[in-house]
Each structure stands twice: as structure tokens, then as C-alpha cells.
Amino acid sequence: VLGDKRGTRTFLNVKESRKAAITTRVLQLLHTVLLKKIHITKRDLFYTDVKLFVDQSDSDGVLDDVATMIGCTRSNLHVVASDKGLVVGRIQFREDGDYIDCTKMGVGGKAIPPYIDKIEDITSDAEFVLLVEKEAAYMRLAEDRFYHRYPCIVITAKGQPDVATRMFLSRLTSELQIPVLCLVDADPYGLKILSVYMSGSKNMSYDSASLTTPDIKWLGLRPSDLDKYDLPEQCRLDMTENDIKTGKELLKEDFIAKNPEWTKELEIMVKTKKKAEIQALSSFGFQYITEEYLPRKIKDDNA
């Protein structure tokens, strides 16, 4: 978070006495958790001493400081995020000893566990990972059993990616050595979500090695797709001034600048001042995304 800079905390300084007390208390609680070999959430940590912490942002901030100070991840300290992400498709693994087959977890798939360290023996015959921004698109892919026609693993974090989903994706790509194709909205927010998966977030920069997946292919929905697939005018939304500002700022980001094709796509978005959601494809039919759009995109990507 600090880059080359360092933050100091003087335990004998009266002005920093409260921060020092919180740090000591957090270290004590983490020690107890690790000795018991259990996992807790940040919310659990906060509620163990509300009187001292007062606000969760105080305990959260110190938790990140402790992880940076020790040189480990939050998950190494057994502090995890609540379940948010989902996975379905051609992947099997053991979770704390239990065998999990994600082709047999029902229509909704499997919740990505917050304790990634308890996942072992990952096996898969998938040819790629399909990373989806929206839960609605994920549910369409899951219900249509898209992974049977195109051997893949489908993952979603239901919007802004959480730590567990990012860590799970990073581990999959590292162990399985398969490409990741991403399906996000054709708007600046969709690209910002993609950037978090690829480059990480600033407040978790100390843990970027286990949280990022640098090589992700932007499959869709792309700004050029609006004309290429004749998306109806009523499905093309006007970008707000803030959208346009964010789009222009993204053009300066490394993950965009180093990819001429992505730069061209973003320039189209900013120039036309139009955006579209993945669900706009449903204007052609509820299963258009699985029966027409994605098969064509995957074929073009492999051409």
C-alpha cells in the first residue's frame, strides 16, 4: 500500500496509544485464532471488542497493517471474507477432506469458500475459465450447462470481486495452466472490475501475488459488439459524465495502454458515449448468450 515508504507506530507515544492498543488486541486475537486452527471474518474480529475498536474500519485497518508487518496474507492469518463468489463446471477438488464435483452441484453451482488453503487435489479437463461479472449471466450459463458443450469452469463474484474469488481464480490458473476469458458489461465499471482481477486493488497491494491473474482475455461485451451484433438502440444506454471521465482515465491505465485492441475498444466507448449491459443480449432471446453470442466469440477468439 505504501510502496517504498514505511509507516511507523510508536507504542510509547501518547497520541498513538489507542492505535497501539488496537494493534496489540488484534495481535492477541489472531494468535488465539491460529492456535485454535479456526477461521473468522473481519466482522467477527470487530465484534470481539467493540468497545475498543468502536468502528470496524479501525480493526480492519490494523489487520491490514499486521499482515503487511508480518509479510503474509490475511488468509494466512485465518481472517477470511464471507462467501460471495460461485463456481460451476468442469472442476473437482477436495475441500477440508470433502470431495467436490462442480458439475454435480445443482443449477446454482458451488459457493467459493473463503478459506482457499483448505482446497486440495484440484483436477479439471476444462479448456478455459469463463469469468462472468454478473450473477444473472452466470445463472444462464449454469442452467444451460454451457460447460458441457464447451469444457470450461464458470466463475462469478457477483459484481465487484471479493478476495476469495480472486484468490481462487489465481490458484486455478496457476495450477491448471488454462486461459481465462472474461465477460463484463460494456461500460467503464466492467473494465474496472476486470482491472481488479488482473492488477489487484490498491488497499490489498501487499497481497497482489496471490490475488491477481494478469493474463485475462476480454471476451465481451465489447463496445464494438453493439454494432457488430446489431444491438437494438433501446438497449444502448447513454454514458453519464462520470462514465466518460472514468473511461478517459482508464485509457491511461497500464492494463489498457499495453493492449492496442483494448485501447481501440475503449476509445469507441468514449467517442460514441454509449454503454450496454450483458443482459442486453437477452433482447434477441433468453438463451442467445449461450446459444449464439458466446459460441461465436469463442470461435473468433480461437481463430
Residues with catalytic roles: 47
Q: What is d(CA 218, CA 220) in angstroms, rounded to the nearest whole number? A: 6
Is residue 240 helix, strand or coil? coil
- Tell me how far apart the 2 most distant CA atoms of the chain are, in Å: 67
Residues linked to residue 40 through DSSP beta bridges, in sequence order? 79
What separation in angstroms does the CA of 249 have from each of 45, 186, 190, 216, 267? 37, 16, 14, 20, 11
Contacts of 179 (CB under 8 A, 6+ apart): 128, 129, 215, 217
- Cβ contacts of 121 within 8 Å, gap of 6 or more: 93, 94
DSSP notation for 145-192: THHHHS-EEEEE-SSSPPHHHHHHHHHHHHHH---EEEE--BSHHHHH
Enter the C-alpha cell of residue 56: 470496524
Distance of alpha carbon 183 from alpha carbon 218, whole angstroms: 7
- Reading the block at residue 116, the C-alpha cell is 482457499
In whole angstroms, give the CA distance from residue 190 to residue 256. 13
SS3 232: coil
Q: Which ranges in the chain belong to alpha helices (H)?
A: 17-36, 42-47, 50-53, 56-70, 135-143, 146-149, 163-176, 188-199, 208-211, 225-228, 241-250, 254-257, 260-272, 288, 294-302
Query: Rounded to the nearest 10 degrees, what angle do helices 17-36 and 56-70 cross at?
Result: 70
